[in-house]
Amino acid sequence: MIEVHELTKRYGSVTAVDRLSFAVRPGRVTGFLGPNGAGKSTTMRAILGLDTPTSGRALVDRVPYRTIDRPLRVVGSLLDAGAVHGGRSARNHLEWLAATNDLPRSRVGEVLERTGLSSVARKRVRGFSLGMRQRLGIAVALLGDPPILMFDEPVNGLDPEGIVWIRTLMRSLASEGRTVFVSSHLMSEMALTADHLIVIGRGALIADTGTADFIQSSSLNDVLVRTPRTRHLADLLTAKGARVAAEPDGGLAVTGLTTEAISEVAAAHGVEVHELARRQASLEEAYMKLTDASVQYRAKDGGR
């Protein structure tokens, strides 16, 4: 379990994390979502004791990370996959970490196997692709067989096969009862991976919810109706319990009734309908709407 209580981190005049509180529970994948600059990495660094909070605190298994005797046995993390010395082989790197952290050497073979690196274990890391480095970073995270795992943007720069591999691994780690906390700025990716979502914007909490509930509640789901008798049909639909809003171009945006029900009402009253279309926003659109106010840098003219 990871607990963050009223966590605030300021860098000079920038408030990177703003009185943020949430808990990450075991046995499920929790996605940590937010636009670029929302404060995800800062929060993760604070949980790992790499940054000192301005105020508030972060606990792993009820204690601050820095007080843990053998941290690799409690929390495994992947923050920066490029941080391995390029001259070492993958196996050397892991063996060195196992020795200096008092972990059994047998774990090295196990994590190489689990991350699919056994066949390249003796190759120098310098020649590794981004995907292989990412796997090695995950092997390091798994080395101490920790109950808690944290991954910062693990799918960044990976090809589709690598993305599917990471997604499957996260889910299997969670099904083993571990706490899995993974950050991303892509809603579509998290919808496929996470059971639960913590969404932040400008360092503050926007949502702490089940993924299914988030998808259900945030998706735009209405029916667009066009008719020459706008006001008359709007009144008839409202009387049937629908919410009706006028669109700027004369159409009606109707929620609370199906296309079939709207069509029946119109036909029963002899109202001609020129267009009847169900509209559904994509999940990514719904997420962008939710975090809209908190996007730090917005291109003024749609690009450069």
Ligand X SMILES: Nc1ncnc2c1ncn2[C@@H]1O[C@H](COP(=O)(O)OP(=O)(O)OP(=O)(O)O)[C@@H](O)[C@H]1O
Residues in contact with ligand X, counted by CB under 6 A, come to a total of 12
Cα distance between residue 93 and residue 275, in whole Å = 64
Rg (CA), the chain: 25
Residue 174 CB contacts under 8 Å (≥ 6 apart), including other chains: 27, 28, 29, 180, 195
| 7 vs 94 by CB, closer to ligand X | 7
**What is the distance between the alpha carbons of residues 215 and 280, in angstroms, rounded to a whole number?**
11
Out of 2, 4, 28, 37, the residue judged to bind ligand X by CB under 6 A: 37
User: Rounded to 5 degrees, what angle do the CA atoms 166, 176, 139 make?
Assistant: 45
DSSP 10-51: EETTEEEEEEEEEEE-TTEEEEEE--TTSSHHHHHHHHTTSS
The least CB distance from residue 55 to ligand X, in Å, is 16
Exactly one of 22, 33, 41, 169 binds ligand X (CB under 6 A); that residue is: 41
Q: Which is nearer to ligand X, 186 or 281 (CB)?
A: 186
The strand pair at 2-11 and 14-24 is best described as antiparallel
Is residue 38 a contact point for ligand X (CB under 6 A)? yes
* Interface region with ligand X, contact rule CB under 6 A, candidates 31-39, 56-64, 138-146, 283-291: 31-39
Among 13, 36, 52, 106, binds ligand X (CB under 6 A): 36
Q: Which of residues 149-188 bind ligand X (CB under 6 A)?
A: 185
Return the residue of 7, 33, 39, 108 that touches ligand X, per CB under 6 A: 39
Q: How far apart are CA 248 and CA 245, in angstroms?
A: 10
Determine, following the binding rule CB under 6 A, whether residue 34 of this chain makes contact with ligand X: yes
Among 18, 20, 29, 42, binds ligand X (CB under 6 A): 42
78 belongs to the binding site for ligand X (CB under 6 A): no
Where do contacts with ligand X occur on this chain (CB under 6 A)?
Answer: 11, 14, 16, 34, 36-42, 185
